[in-house]
Amino acid sequence: MPAKNLTANRSALGHRVSYALRHPHRVPRHLVRATRDAWLRYRYPDHVSYYRAVMRSDTRTSPEAAVGSRTHERWLALGAMQFDYLLGHGLRPEHRMLEIGCGNLRAGWRFISHLEPGHYYGIDISPEILAAAQDTLVRQGLQNRLPTLTPVRDLTLRFLPDAHFDVVHAHSVFSHSPLPVIEECLAHVGRVMAPGGWFDFTFDRTEGVEHQVLREDFYYRTETLITLAEKHGLSARFMTDWEELPHGQSKIRVTHREAGQTP
């Protein structure tokens, strides 16, 4: 995988023109995406409704591509990467896990297989991708693991119990979210995390100007997200060992702030 470009402003005209000249074969697909973006932005002014419509459109074409995997092999590899990383960080069968933006269970089916029955809870804003997740469960023969898959309208998590989940996981969710959506999640995730639990999320990192492309891809500075977590009484740290893996996004881990600890 190419090294991360941490300084480019992908929304700048100069960058877009340069990219088009270097990759002319990608221009038609980008134009289709931009046209869809304009139409969906007109129909769905709030971001969650907008991105739900994006997922509906993408899932109709390919559930695996809708979650960011252009081939089945890549879908398997990215799922395994997420699973192996959490396993190496102490994910145990008795843990209770909440996966935010579980998609079609790219990594989720591995978590479900590893965890005790009933200990996996997946949520997503897209009913269509959750239907595809059910298909994944059937293909993997995991019906007896009794996972819960629930569509949601927002990330307030208000229907979930206090201090219940040992591990919360959100892969490629904040990379598609504006700051108000991210803050909504960080404002409420601490309530559902068990003592000693943690919340891992990936994001598209920049060391330059924070920006977004077509309301689908958002690039943030690490300190922006760490400060946002601390604002809501959480501790956050950049996961340097994730950077060693062949993945384009970066990762932050959030935990409860210890008593007496200051930001």
* pLDDT score of 262 more than 80: no
Residue in this structure with the two tokens 């909440």, named with its chain if needed: 98
Q: Which pair of tokens denotes residue 60?
A: 């109709």
Q: Which pair of tokens denotes residue 65?
A: 């591509």
Pairwise CA distance, residues 212 & 47, whole Å: 13
Between strands 165-170 and 97-100, the pairing is parallel
* pLDDT score of 30 more than 70: yes
Residue 138: C-alpha distances to residues 27, 67, 104, 128, 133 (Å):
37, 19, 12, 16, 9
Residue 260 has a pLDDT of 38
pLDDT tens, residue by residue, 112-160: 999 999 999 999 999 999 999 999 999 999 999 999 999 999 999 999 9
Across the range 229-256, mean pLDDT stands at 96
Across the range 52-71, mean pLDDT stands at 93
Pairwise CA distance, residues 210 & 74, whole Å: 28
Residue in this structure with the two tokens 């029955």, named with its chain if needed: 117
Which region among 4-18, 96-110, 115-129 has the lowest average model confidence (pLDDT)?
A: 4-18
Across the range 242-260, mean pLDDT stands at 88
pLDDT band at 3 (very low <50, low <70, confident <90, very high): low
Residue 254 has a pLDDT of 98
Tell me, yes or no, if the pTM score tops 0.85: yes
Residues of the chain with pLDDT > 90: what percent? Answer: 78
* pLDDT score of 69 more than 60: yes
